[in-house]
A = this chain, B = another copy of it.
Amino acid sequence: MNLLLFTEQDRSDDGLLHITGPRLQHLRQIHGKTVGEDVRVGRINGMIGSARIVSIDSHRALLDPVLDQPPPEKIPLTLVVALPRPKMLRRILRTVAELGVGELHLINTYRVEKSFWQTPVLKESNVHEYLLQGLEQSRDTVVPAVSCHRRFKPFVEDDLPGLLAGRRALLAHPGDYPPCPRGVAVPALLVIGPEGGFIPYEVDKLQHAGCEPVSLGPRILRVENAVTALLGRLY
């Protein structure tokens, strides 16, 4: 945790933050913080800054925050990913928030197992928690928007055209395609398939909607590594 995130609900009338639970444990055990020391803090979806520890014990910490900096800018990428298995999904949610992606769309495809849509990881409160973990790591406060699309065709026909307006749209797909561009410096939309890839019908539909197929080379990467490697390459 490189940034302690809080909401207005953590703040009392005197303006101090009342921190309890896992965040308190983390302050005490990992950082070993004591009265008078400063902690980096950020208001969720707001500014970042530092907070002086006014008191701290096993029940709670009182922090006096001064928020004076904006969070880092998001990268101008909309990410569209075929819903991965739950374990991978958790990591992708953290990674997306950590890397500064502002918008994630999880979609159904032929090779997405139906059971994946039932995972508790997709519960709104859980999604929020995993996103916060990524933000805490990279010192951001702005929670990415996550949407689920359980039907492929309506997503591609009805939603995708709006999402890719004004963006360069790329489809990462194994095959004999040009290599993924580097440092695009423009807003982009990136589509990444499931384990096992998109089926030809899906590739056709995505290409028809305006997505440009690009290759990441001969290696088949886990979805999480493909996301991170492509983001490092694009921006």
Contact = CB atoms under 8 A, between A and B. Distances in A.
Interface residues of A, number: 25
A215 to B, nearest CB: 13
Given A72-B218, A217-B72, A99 B229 contact: yes
Interface in A213-235: 217-222, 225, 228-233
Contacts of A225: 95, 98-99, 228
A140 interface: yes
A76 to B, nearest CB: 13
A216 B2 CA distance: 16
Interface in A179-235: 182-183, 217-222, 225, 228-233
A102 to B, nearest CB: 13
Contact of A98 (B139, B221, B232): B221
Given A137-B220, A225-B228, A228-B228, A182 B72 contact: no
